[in-house]
A and B are shown apart, each in its own frame.
Chain A
Amino acid sequence: MPMQTLTGTRLRERRQALGLRQSDLAERAGISGSYLNLIEHNRRRIAPDLLARLAGVLGLDMAAFEGSAAGALVEELRAAAAGVPGGGAELDRVEDFAGRFPGWAATLAALHSRAEGLGRAVEALNDRMSHDPHLSASLHEVLSAVSSVRSTAAILADTEDIEPEWRERFHRNLHEDSERLAAGAEALVAYLDAGGQAEEQVIASPQEEVEAWAAAEDWALETAPEGLASGAARALAAAMLARARADRMALPDPAFSQAVQELGPDPAALAARFGVEVLAVFRRLTLRPGAAAGLVICDGSGTLTLRKPLAGFALPRFGAACPLWPLFTALARPVTPIEAVIETPGPQGRRFRARAFCLPRHPGGFRGPELREAAMLILPEPPGAETALPVGSTCRICPRADCAARREPSILTV
Chain B
Amino acid sequence: MAGRVLLIEDESNIAEAIRFILSRDGCEVEVEHDGRAGFARLAEGLPDVLILDLMLPGMSGLEILTALRADPRSADLPVLMLTAKGQGRDREAAERAGVSAFMSKPFANAEMRARVRALMGLDA
Docked CA distance A401–B16 (Å): 53
B52 to chain A, nearest CB (A): 15
Docked CA distance A297–B84 (Å): 34
A167 to chain B, nearest CB (A): 11
Stretch at the interface among B33-41, B64-72, B102-110: B102-110
Docked CA distance A224–B90 (Å): 42
Contact A150 B106 (CB under 8 A): yes
A151/B106 contact (C-beta < 8 A), A166-B20, A177-B13 known: yes
Contact A144 B105 (CB under 8 A): yes
Which of A139, A143, A148 is close to B13, meaning CB atoms less than 8 Å apart? A148
A130-151 to B contact mask, C-beta < 8 Å, 1/0: 0000000001100110111111
Docked CA distance A74–B12 (Å): 64
A139/B86 contact (C-beta < 8 A), A155-B20, A155-B109 known: yes
A151 to chain B, nearest CB (A): 4
Docked CA distance A176–B14 (Å): 12
B93-108 to A contact mask, C-beta < 8 Å, 1/0: 0000000000001111
Docked CA distance A150–B107 (Å): 8
B10 to chain A, nearest CB (A): 9
Contact B55 A140 (CB under 8 A): yes
A147/B55 contact (C-beta < 8 A), A152-B13, A155-B20 known: no
Contact A143 B20 (CB under 8 A): no
Please indicate the chain A residues that have their CB under 8 angstroms from the CB of B49 in the complex: none
Which of B14, B24, B85, B86 is close to A148, meaning CB atoms less than 8 Å apart? B14
Docked CA distance A271–B107 (Å): 58
**Is residue A361 within 8 Å, beta carbon to beta carbon, of the partner chain?**
no
**Is residue A154 within 8 Å, beta carbon to beta carbon, of the partner chain?**
yes
Q: How large is the interface on B (under 10, 10 to 19, 20 to 34, 35 or more residues)?
A: 10 to 19
Please indicate the chain A residues that have their CB under 8 angstroms from the CB of B18 in the complex: 151
Please indicate the chain A residues that have their CB under 8 angstroms from the CB of B107 in the complex: 147, 150-151
Contact B109 A143 (CB under 8 A): no
- On chain A, the number of residues with a Cβ less than 8 Å from chain B's Cβ atoms is 21
Interface of chain A: mostly helix, strand, loop or mixed:
helix
Contact A159 B24 (CB under 8 A): yes
A143/B16 contact (C-beta < 8 A), A151-B21, A159-B24 known: no
Docked CA distance A151–B106 (Å): 8
A151/B17 contact (C-beta < 8 A), A140-B55, A143-B105 known: yes
A205 to chain B, nearest CB (A): 18
Docked CA distance A144–B55 (Å): 11
A276 to chain B, nearest CB (A): 38
B74 to chain A, nearest CB (A): 27
Please indicate the chain A residues that have their CB under 8 angstroms from the CB of B21 in the complex: 151, 155
**Is residue B11 within 8 Å, beta carbon to beta carbon, of the partner chain?**
yes
Please indicate the chain B residues that have their CB under 8 angstroms from the CB of A159 in the complex: 24
Docked CA distance A47–B24 (Å): 72
Please indicate the chain A residues that have their CB under 8 angstroms from the CB of B112 in the complex: 151
Q: Which residues of chain B have a CB within 8 Å of any CB of chain A?
A: 11, 13-14, 16-18, 20-21, 24, 55, 84-86, 105-109, 112
* 12 sample A-B contacts, Cβ–Cβ < 8 Å, listed by A number: A139-B86, A143-B84, A147-B14, A147-B105, A148-B14, A150-B107, A152-B13, A155-B20, A155-B21, A169-B16, A170-B17, A177-B13
